Amino acid sequence: MKHALFIAYHYPPESSSSGVLRTLKHTRYLGRFGWRVTVLTLDRGAYDTVDPQLEGQVPADVRVVRTPFVEVKRHLAVRGHYPSILAIPDRWIGWWPWAVAAGRRIVRNDPVDVIYSTSPHATAHLIALSLVRRARVPWVVDFRDPWYEDPPEPGTTRIGQFAARRLEHRVVTRADRIVASTTRLRNMLASRYPGRPREAFLTIPNGYDEGDFAHIAAPAEEPGKEMLIVHAGSINENFRDPRPVFEAVRRAVAEGGMERSRIRIRFLGAGPFGESAVMQEAVRQAGLAANVEFRPRLSYQDSLLEQSRASVLLLLQASPDTINLVPAKLFEYLRTTRPVLALVPEGATAEVLRDTGGGWVVEPGDLHVLNNTLVTAYRAWMSGRLGSLAADPRRLEAFSRERLAAVLAGQFDTLVGGRG
């Protein structure tokens, strides 16, 4: 079998980011298409949030090489502060020397046919850049998010923005393939580098793994005692704020469009903002103290099970810098065969929802439309028609993780064949 070296910060047991699933599933299925994988990543101590069940999905034939690291904030900060120049391109640049040394040993002792690096964090690309110079094999870079925003995100220093531009330029102009998680992100990257051939840029979206749903029963179509709205993952005050939902429910109840006693809103792993006094006060003012609940973070598999029991799944993504991105969570939401209520601006996520017929798109802050949409969902739930509003399974098949791994394997084959 041909040999691919993966360089990734996010790899099981790490579970703070849904990006871990993209890399995990690629390594899980590439073996079916003639590629064995070695993953170069960090010692487990790097991760604050872990899920042992995810690590159990790593195939036995995938070799995982873990290295020491220095993390700027953890190891170099004084009273929580450190010079921003030490964190270029990110706080994990202290992983670079150990990873490069380990990568060179891998290349020397078990030659590789292609190197694949994925970000965030961008340090993974700099590690790969150092390795491909010596290995002289094709290089595929994967952007799950943009390296930098233009205009810069708040808090970005001038030197940080300058360095990001220069480093991204070095990576993109050297790589043989530039993979993006959405078509919009691919187009943005291609427009930045018009000197690169258009075919060097491609889209491999996030998706869902059918195997993760093997033991999850299809939801019942008849209405239960309560219409259950579920949000999985963290919330925050800036761009994942559920308070408009509370206000819309309050209005719908006041206007007779919904019955309060038949509504439940459940948050799984909402994080500190869910536990804050601000959030508790918002729930109280909406009259929903008995209807809203915050549950602790669950394992990935248990979270999928809870999502499958929902009547409606809630997606919150109001940040302008996510317009070109689609969270991996959306595809799992869609695969549960539950309709999705997405408070998102027009962009990549809205396009996927409309293409799959998977639910409703509401502009964040539009309380009138949100109110009407919740009433529509409630009436569909009361009449047992919510299932008909879920994603079209035939359209969803394009986002199967196994199919997406096949696309990546095809790119690897093309590059290796071209080199030959």
In tens digits, what is the pLDDT along the chain, a chain of 420 residues? Answer: 999 999 999 999 999 888 899 999 999 999 999 999 999 999 999 999 999 999 999 999 999 999 999 999 999 999 888 998 999 999 999 999 999 999 999 999 999 999 999 999 999 999 999 999 989 999 999 999 999 988 888 888 999 999 999 999 999 999 999 999 999 999 999 999 999 999 999 999 999 999 999 888 777 666 679 999 999 999 999 889 999 999 999 999 999 999 999 999 999 999 999 999 999 999 999 999 999 999 999 999 999 999 999 999 999 998 888 899 999 899 999 999 999 999 999 999 999 999 999 999 999 989 999 999 999 999 999 999 998 999 999 999 999 999 999 999 999 999 999 654
CATH class belonging to 212-398: alpha beta
Topology alike, domains 2-207+400-419 and 212-398 = yes
Nearest to 47 by CA among 86, 94, 10, 89: 10
Residue the block writes with tokens 């910060």:
9
- Measured at the alpha carbon of residue 340, what is the angle toward residues 334 and 346, in degrees to the nearest 5? 105
pTM across the whole model = 0.93
Give Cα separations from 350 to 74, 255, 323, 342 (angstroms): 38, 28, 9, 8
Give the residue extent of every domain in the chain. 2-207+400-419, 212-398
- Tell how strand 114-119 and strand 63-67 pair up: unpaired
Cα-Cα end-to-end distance for the chain: 16
CA atoms within 13 Å, Cβ hemisphere of 96? 19
Residue 314 β-bridge partners: 341
- Tell how strand 2-7 and strand 177-180 pair up: unpaired
Superfamily (CATH H level) for 2-207+400-419: Glycogen Phosphorylase B; (3.40.50.2000)
Q: What distance in Å separates the CA atoms of residue 319 and residue 323, rounded to the nearest whole number?
A: 7
SS (H, E, C) 263-319: EEEEEECCCHHHHCHHHHHHHHHCCCCCCEEEECCCCHHHHHHHHHCCCEEEEECCC
